[in-house]
Each structure stands twice: as structure tokens, then as C-alpha cells.
Amino acid sequence: MKIFSGSTSEKLTDSICNILCVEFDIDIKPGKLKIDKFLDGEILPLFEETVRDEDVFFVQSTMSSDTIMETLLIIDAAKRAGCKSFTLVSPFQGYSRQDKTDHLRSSIGSKLLADILEKAGMTRIITIDLHASAIQGFYNVPVVHLNGNKIFIEHIKNNQIDDLTIIAPDQGAVKRATDFCKAFPEATFAMINKKRIKPNEIHSMELVGDVEGRNVVIVDDMADTLGTLKKASELVMNMGAKSVRAIATHGVLSGKALENLETSMLTELMVSDSISTVVEKKFMESLKGRDGVMGGQKLNIISCDRILAKSINFISKKKSIHELNIV
């Protein structure tokens, strides 16, 4: 078994290898992979060590066109170099919001991405919280679909929050939020019914359930512009909640996301490091904060390294992955 890092995932890969060494007694460190670029942006990956007859694990979130192309070229290079299997460890699988044709004559991007990854030679994928779990059916190779709730449960428990209410921000997040409730037997459940007129724009929202005098945690898979979370936090606080926090496995944080976060009524937004740019954005916002400008103080990044390391360990030892997803 050998583990390699994409150009955007060096820190996460280092952390995964460290956990495998310390907790699971697997002597491993990131493999040597050089990713060159021509001046026009063309990507040239080069393995600097043999991968012949090896089980290759490659860590890279497919969050942009560049990372997707880089991943495809690396799969091709590994297969041509004679690797036995190629597992893509993609904490955030891009284009997962395009799982069906919601609009006339639109694409199904998640199906296309699955097809081209398999065609390149990927033999397994490990990912966390696909936007729609049905996307697993687009793949003809094994899909290890990890439950992102496990990344945040310990953090919430350590905060010892009383009078807890878990909220699903829309109908699509109900299952994820109810699964999260299993870890907190005393918590109550509520949901928000929202009407969207176009992507990233909410027409109206209404709360289904009681939050008066409660500490609320909104559970979702993705935080993009944070427009929805900002409106949701205002709605919940206006309905009498004591505090409101939010959990999102994937911190996309596009557009004015951090500005929306700082001007929202959220006490805290918890995201994982599945998307590397979220760490960079928090760092840049902290620098702004030193100059008296509001930064990303409400943003709390919790690493997904442990759940990924466990899944790699289970696969290498041919153990069942099922227990990883039990909350």
C-alpha cells in the first residue's frame, strides 16, 4: 500500500499517514509524486518511486476543473506504471449537486464525473457526505461513503450544550439531521421548509418545530455562500432560541460567505477540511482581523483525517467499513 497526495491535499495526507502510524501501527508516509505544470497550465504528474503491483491511495478532493484533470492524469500514470489498484480518497466529490436534471436540457455532472474517473482506471472511491447518497449508484466500482456527522459529534459533546435541538435546514437534509440526533438522545428535532427560486437564492423560509429556549445546531452537508444559513439563524433566533450553531461537512465558502457568517446570528460554523481552500480563507480572514476588520472568528475547522485514516486502515486489513458509519 502506498499513499500519495494531490497538489491541494498535502497537509491532510500527512495527517492521515501520521494517524495510520501512531494509532494503527502502519509504517507509512506520503509517497513521492511530482506534479509539474507547463507555462500554459498543462499538468504533468510524475511518480518518483515505483507503484508496480501496489495498492495506490491518492488523496485529492475533486473540487475544481484543475483538480479533476490532475486526478485523471495521476490515475492514468499509476495504471500505466502497473499499480494493482487505485483508490481515490476524495473527501469532497465535486459536481455532486448535479445528480439529476432539475432544469430543462441540463447536465448530470456527477454521473459524468463518475464515468470519466472509472474510464481512467479508478478501482475504488472513498468520499464523505455526497450531496445526494443516490450518486453512489452512478459508480460501477466500490464506493465507501462515509458519514460526515462523526467528524463533529465529539466536538458538540465536549461543549456540553444543554437543551439541544437539531435542525435540518431543508427537506434534503432531514435524514442527515435525524442521524445526528442519534448521538444525542435528549435532543429534539425541527426542520426548515424553504422555497428556492433559483440557485443560491431563497424565496421564503418557515420553521417546523419548537426552538424556544433551546440551543440549536443546524446540520447540513455543504456551506456555500451561507445565505441560507444566515437567514436560517435569524429565523431560529427570532423564534426564541438561546443560541444557534451550524455544522457543514464541506466548507465551500464561495462569494461573500465569510462576510455573511460574521454578520449572521450564528455563534459558530463548524466545517471539515475536506476542501483545502477553507483553511486558507480562515487564515486570510484572521490576518484582516488583526487590522480591526471582522475576520473568520466564528469559523471552526475540524479535520476529517481520522475518519479517512480509519477507512484506509479497514480496507488495507479487509475489515468491514460498516461500523465507521454507525453514529
22-71 residue pLDDT tens: 999 999 999 999 999 999 989 999 999 999 999 999 999 999 999 999 99
Listed by start position, the domains of the chain span: 2-147+306-325, 149-303
Q: How crowded is residue 183: how many other Cβ atoms within 10 Å of its Cβ? A: 16
Length of the chain in residues, anyone? 327
| pLDDT score for 293 | 45
| pLDDT score for 289 | 58
Mean pLDDT of 83-103: 92
DSSP state of 207: E
Q: What CATH number labels 149-303? A: 3.40.50.2020
Asked whether the domain spanning 149-303 has the same topology as the one spanning 2-147+306-325, the reply is yes
Mean pLDDT of 79-107: 92
% of the chain with per-residue pLDDT over 70:
92
Extract the C-alpha cell encoding 324. 465507521
Residue 294 has pLDDT above 60, yes or no: no
State the CATH class of domain 2-147+306-325: alpha beta
- What is the band of 160 on the pLDDT scale with cuts at 50, 70, 90? confident
| pLDDT score for 86 | 98
What whole-number distance in Å separates Cα of residue 306 and Cα of residue 286?
Answer: 26
Of 124, 126, 115, 170, nearest in space to 274 by CA: 126
What whole-number distance in Å separates Cα of residue 195 and Cα of residue 152?
Answer: 28
| pLDDT score for 283 | 66
**Cα–Cα distance list, 106 to 95, 99, 117, 222 (Å):** 13, 11, 21, 22
Sheet with 268-272, strands from edge to edge, namely 201-208, 188-198, 164-168, 215-223, 243-251, 268-272, 299-302
Residue 106 has pLDDT above 90, yes or no: no
Report the catalytic residues.
194
Spatial contact of 17 and 29, defined as CB atoms under 8 Å apart: yes
- At residue 117's C-alpha, the angle toward residues 113 and 120, to 5°, is 140
pTM: 0.90
Mean pLDDT of 222-239: 92
What whole-number distance in Å separates Cα of residue 278 and Cα of residue 274?
Answer: 8
What whole-number distance in Å separates Cα of residue 273 and Cα of residue 254?
Answer: 15
pLDDT in tens, 301-324: 999 999 999 999 999 988 877 777
Q: At what angle do helices 149-159 and 174-181 cross, to 10 degrees?
A: 50
Spatial contact of 68 and 59, defined as CB atoms under 8 Å apart: no
Mean pLDDT of the chain: 90
What whole-number distance in Å separates Cα of residue 295 and Cα of residue 236?
Answer: 24
State the distance between the two ends of the chain, measured CA to CA, in whole angstroms: 29
- What is the band of 292 on the pLDDT scale with cuts at 50, 70, 90? very low
| pLDDT score for 297 | 78
pLDDT in tens, 86-95: 999 999 999 9
| pLDDT score for 308 | 96
Mean pLDDT of 123-151: 94
According to DSSP, the residues that pair with 193 across neighbouring strands are 206
What whole-number distance in Å separates Cα of residue 292 and Cα of residue 290?
Answer: 5
pLDDT in tens, 164-182: 999 999 888 899 999 999 9
Q: How crowded is residue 61: how many other Cβ atoms within 10 Å of its Cβ? A: 27
Mean pLDDT of 263-274: 94
